[in-house]
Structure 1
């Protein structure tokens, strides 16, 4: 496991390879650098073997390999961090153990499935409840409860989409109960569905790569499309559908953060802030545990992940 790597040792294991740069070195050779990952953590790599560099150059995204090499001090950094000098890179075989490459969240999946079902049952507006029951069924439901909520930024593990969506709903309901004039049924529906498009945007395969459809359309657009398609088969009043779709389209808050429209209703603001706080709080749960303070890339700052 990457967390156990120490300077001076030789390693050989299945890893996820993310290439960051391929170029020419000062001595006329070539090099490739990037990150290696498994469930336990990530480490920088560098490779000078021309054949392997050509192989890495052709990668279109994060790819799993059986990797061999030496662990050494990263001479390009001043903080004495480690890196792997890759000397071997082979395609995975069916018999290779890749269990260390599929991150799992530390939560009770079955309990969250029950919470999801209970939130749907709590919706009293017939049209909205029927819409939720229609969408959260069959193949869509199976993908929803296994997909990650992100490639790397937050809830990037199997079942992450289920955990994130249910927890966002819990926060949104708590807010809705404290604010006058908020339609709780609309909040529940919007919170549960706000990221539903991620089942088509992000694959649950090794590395959680983005799909072609995801890159072209994005999960916000696809969430709205999925709701539109399901609603077309039901008798959901157009005004309710528009308000629900507004929540989905604005859940990032503002245009600058990727939302096609900015929040304009009470329910949209409630879901947006519930989504944002849940994504932020998840950053405190996914850290390497090496120190109390850790730089968080999503938040762009050092955060206190453990009590001093």
Structure 2
């Protein structure tokens, strides 16, 4: 059962998982309790309003698998489930609802290792080989976010490899100014802290305790410190460069960076990180707008909180002059 397949007016029947349930009260006199129920198929979410809620009842728990019957309606341009009835499913297995950013996590991991093995710098090659091989399963599994961009299994690895390729392209433009190995290595470790920041329980992605207490930029130092120790600190100065890239990749303290970039490679990783995250965010917004038949996307909070023209429309406007094999994402 995929939410993307729902059409306005459809009667839908199937199995979804509770992503969130919040209690509220109407503005009437007297106010009446209701529940805003958010359901997910592991990829997308849809909301349903449970009116006249009995406050003595417990809210549906996150991760609970429900068999539902409802009508797909529209509210403020978004799909909504109305007249919903539901009951807990007999099979509460949530493995099938885990969000996957990509099915080819092993291929992505191989691509990362190929970049690492191409380093001419011995210290960077050995440090990153150790980090990636010692933490292979966790790195392949990690999501890059709970929402917004590169969400789901393999998302963080896909994002890191994207950032590495962007950095590689920039370094090829300025070979005399940029250390290729350092900027690509920085890209591959800049978001390692995401491994410790999030946990996935079926479709529900939440912060870990460490993720709540510490920024992912800081958590990434755990892996760098471990690698530093494993090589008896003989690469300590190189590790410090990687640490700085981790701590500064959000660019400014205004955006949560514990430090600001202090050398060229750190700036490039920061810019490349922003490009990768922004493009994936807009890709998801375009996909949703396409499915809903809209000319513009919904407002994208991380992109000036504005609606964006669909890339498909730009493609069609310029189709007479575009490269034949190019396609809108």
Is this a same-fold pair by TM over 0.5? yes
**Which residue number in structure 1 is paired with residue 323 of structure 2?**
none
Please, what TM-score do these two structures have when normalized by structure 2?
0.81
Q: Structure 1 residues 177, 43: CA separation in 2 closer, same or farther (over 3 Å shift)?
A: same
**Which residue number in structure 2 is paired with residue 29 of structure 1?**
32
| Distance (Å, rounded) in 1 between the aligned partners of 2:58 and 2:39 | 15
**Which residue number in structure 2 is paired with residue 303 of structure 1?**
308
Q: Structure 1 residues 2, 128: CA separation in 2 closer, same or farther (over 3 Å shift)?
A: same
Q: Structure 1 residues 266, 229: CA separation in 2 closer, same or farther (over 3 Å shift)?
A: same
RMSD: 2.6
Q: Which moved more, 1:272-281 or 1:125-134?
A: 125-134
| Distance (Å, rounded) in 2 between the aligned partners of 1:240 and 1:91 | 53
* Contact 1:31–1:53 (CA under 8 A) maintained in structure 2: no
* Contact 1:292–1:306 (CA under 8 A) maintained in structure 2: no
**Which residue number in structure 2 is paired with residue 219 of structure 1?**
216
**Which residue number in structure 2 is paired with residue 266 of structure 1?**
264
**Which residue number in structure 1 is paired with residue 142 of structure 2?**
147
SS of 2:111's partner is helix
| Distance (Å, rounded) in 2 between the aligned partners of 1:189 and 1:78 | 44
SS of 1:204's partner is strand
Q: Which runs of 5+ in 2 are unaligned?
A: 314-329
- Count, aligned residues: 299
**Which residue number in structure 1 is paired with residue 236 of structure 2?**
238
* Contact 2:193–2:217 (CA under 8 A) maintained in structure 1: yes
Q: Structure 1 residues 303, 122: CA separation in 2 closer, same or farther (over 3 Å shift)?
A: same
Q: Structure 1 residues 248, 80: CA separation in 2 closer, same or farther (over 3 Å shift)?
A: closer
Deviation at 1:195, TM superposition (A): 0.7
Q: Structure 1 residues 292, 28: CA separation in 2 closer, same or farther (over 3 Å shift)?
A: closer
Deviations 1:111-139 (A, max 9, x none): 3222111111012222221111111124x
Q: Which moved more, 1:249-258 or 1:197-206?
A: 197-206
| Distance (Å, rounded) in 1 between the aligned partners of 2:272 and 2:47 | 34
* Contact 1:148–1:155 (CA under 8 A) maintained in structure 2: yes
| Distance (Å, rounded) in 2 between the aligned partners of 1:81 and 1:259 | 36
SS of 1:301's partner is coil
* Contact 1:145–1:159 (CA under 8 A) maintained in structure 2: yes
Q: Structure 1 residues 40, 121: CA separation in 2 closer, same or farther (over 3 Å shift)?
A: closer
| Distance (Å, rounded) in 1 between the aligned partners of 2:157 and 2:77 | 38
Q: Which runs of 5+ in 1 are unaligned?
A: none
Q: Structure 1 residues 249, 4: CA separation in 2 closer, same or farther (over 3 Å shift)?
A: same
| Distance (Å, rounded) in 1 between the aligned partners of 2:205 and 2:76 | 32
**Which residue number in structure 2 is paired with residue 166 of structure 1?**
161
| Distance (Å, rounded) in 2 between the aligned partners of 1:3 and 1:203 | 25
Q: Structure 1 residues 107, 283: CA separation in 2 closer, same or farther (over 3 Å shift)?
A: farther
**Which residue number in structure 2 is paired with residue 157 of structure 1?**
152
* Contact 2:228–2:235 (CA under 8 A) maintained in structure 1: no
**Which residue number in structure 2 is paired with residue 47 of structure 1?**
50
